[in-house]
Structure formats: C-alpha cells, structure tokens
Amino acid sequence: MEYLNLILRSFFFYFLIILYLRLMGKREVGELSVFDLVLYFLMTELLAISISSVDESIWKTIFPVTTLAFLQIALSWFLLKKKKYRDIIEGKPALLICNGKIMQEEMKRQRYTIDDLLYQIRDKDVGSVSEVEFAILENSGVLSVLKKGQTPLLFPFPLISDGEIQVDMLYRCGLNQKWLLEKLRKLGYNDPKDIFICLWEKGGLHITLKEGVMKAQGMEKCRQKISCQQANKQRILSKNRDQKDQAK
C-alpha cells in the first residue's frame, strides 16, 4: 500500500507541476531569469519532499507550490507592464562589442572577463575579436555574436520599448529625446506611449504600434469610410431628385 501511495503521489505531482509550468508561460531553460530559477528550485524541492513523505498531507505541499506559482504569474504580469522594474529584476542585454570596439567599462559593470569573452567568441566559431562587429550579452548569460560583413550598416537599436523611451540607448547612439520626438512627429506619431517598439536601423525608424492603438485607428478608418459612403449616397440621391425636378 505504501508503494502504491508513492506511485499515486508521483503521478499527481507530475501533472500538477506540468500544469503550473504551462500557466507560468513557455520559456527555454536558457532564457530563465534568476527569479524563475529560484522559484522552480523551491517548487521541485517541495514536491520531492512531499512525494517521499507519504504520512504528510499533500495539501501541505499544494498550498505553498500554488502560492509560488501565483507569485511568479503575478510578478511576470507586473514586469510585462513596467519595463523599469523588469530591467532591475531580470537585467537587460549588455553591448560588449560595438562596431568592432570592446566596451571595457560595460565589461567591468557585468564582471565579464576578457577570458570569458574570448571563450564565448570561440564557442561561436569565430577565431578572433577582430572578426566581430557586435557582441551582446543577453539576460540569460548567452553571448550573441554578429560577425563583420554579415551585419547591416546600422545595427537595429530599440529606442522605444512598450511606450517607454530608452534614454540609455539614445545616449549610446549619440542621440537625444528631442531628436527622437521630432522624428516621430514628422512620421505622424505624436505620443511615444502609443508605440510598442521603435527600432533605429539602416532604413530609418521601424515602428510598431500597440495593438489597442492599431485597433482604435482601424475603427476610426472604418467610421470615416462609412461616413464617406453615406455622404456619397446622399449626394447621389440629391442629384437624382434634382434631375427629376428638372424633368418636370
């Protein structure tokens, strides 16, 4: 009976952890933040203890595991809306090589040694730092490497993310908010908060609006189209009446 209880607990907690992982969102292992890893370790440790402790009630495990899952979901939703806090908790990508130049100050801030950099570059099948145009240290700790001759003339930099102007990115690119706002006004965008992502790349600014703004603009265009159709219909009816009056 004891072994049967162990088997049933194992099946139950297996499907429970799969359910919670699905609710917490799809992510690759390499993309997990430190906060995610801590939560997953806590959850798996609680489940392992509960499976082996057959005399303990499973509710003593379900409650804390459910609390941790809810905490992760709530925090993820909050960080999705607040990029400033997302950068604090999860960090943000660091540019270690820009236009072929090693960013020494950035490497110091990231506590990233030259040996780490050379190892990661070799791991990307690149023989020398001189072959690298851009190297970006992602939040997951993976180094993204773009070789010279394989990159566009201007690497796409996010100047606006989820409605927030990235002041530090503007500074890196030698730009300022006044220049950006003027460019946006010329393109017909008056409020940066309406923009989901704005990339500065070779062809200029690449802009994607937020879904709510796009839907509102689509509805406005539909209303304008309907108004034009109704106005045209009224003009046609009025013209027909005038022709009938003239015929009489």
Strand order across the beta sheet in which 195-201 lies:
164-165, 157-161, 195-201, 204-209
- Tens-digit pLDDT profile for residues 91-133: 778 888 887 888 888 889 889 998 999 888 888 888 888 888 8
DSSP string, 31-80: G--HHHHHHHHHHHHHHHHHHH-TTS-THHHHHHHHHHHHHHHHHHHHHH
How far is Cα 36 from Cα 132, in angstroms, rounded to an integer?
Answer: 32
With CA atoms as reference, report the closest residue to 23 among 58, 59, 72, 63.
72
- Tens-digit pLDDT profile for residues 131-177: 888 888 887 778 888 887 765 545 677 888 878 888 877 877 777 88
Q: How many CB atoms lie within 10 A of CB 193?
A: 12
Domains of the chain: 2-89 (no CATH), 92-147 (3.30.240.20), 157-209 (3.30.240.20)
Residue 81 has a pLDDT of: 75
- Which pTM does this prediction carry? 0.55
